Amino acid sequence: MFYELGFGDNFYKYFSVEEGDVYFLYSDEEKIKLSDMLSMIHDWANQCIKKGDGNTLLAVHDFHRSVISFLTDYNDGYYLPFDDYYVNNTYPDFFLERYKNNKEEVFHVIKECTYSHLERMNAFVSKMIVMNYIYYVLKDDPKEILIFKKFLGKNNDIFLTAFSFILDVRFYIKKSHFKGLYLGCYLSKIPD
Per residue in 93-104, pLDDT tens? 899 999 999 999
pLDDT, residue 111, reads 92
**CA gap 152, 148 in Å, rounded:** 6
pLDDT, residue 28, reads 77
pLDDT, average across residues 64-74: 69
pTM check: above 0.75: no
pLDDT, residue 11, reads 67
Q: Above 90 in pLDDT, residue 163?
A: yes
What is the SS3 assignment for 38?
helix
Name the band, by pLDDT with cuts 50, 70 and 90, for residue 23.
confident
What is the SS3 assignment for 91?
coil
Highest mean pLDDT among 31-35, 121-125, 184-188: 184-188
Count the Cβ atoms, other than its own, within 10 Å of residue 86.
18
Average pLDDT, the chain: 82
Q: Above 80 in pLDDT, residue 77?
A: no
pLDDT, residue 110, reads 93
pLDDT above 70 coverage of the chain, percent: 82
Q: Above 90 in pLDDT, residue 151?
A: yes
**CA gap 92, 50 in Å, rounded:** 41
**CA gap 182, 52 in Å, rounded:** 57
pLDDT, average across residues 19-34: 81
pLDDT, average across residues 159-180: 91
Q: Above 80 in pLDDT, residue 158?
A: yes
Side by side, the strands of the sheet bearing 21-25 are 15-18, 21-25, 31-33
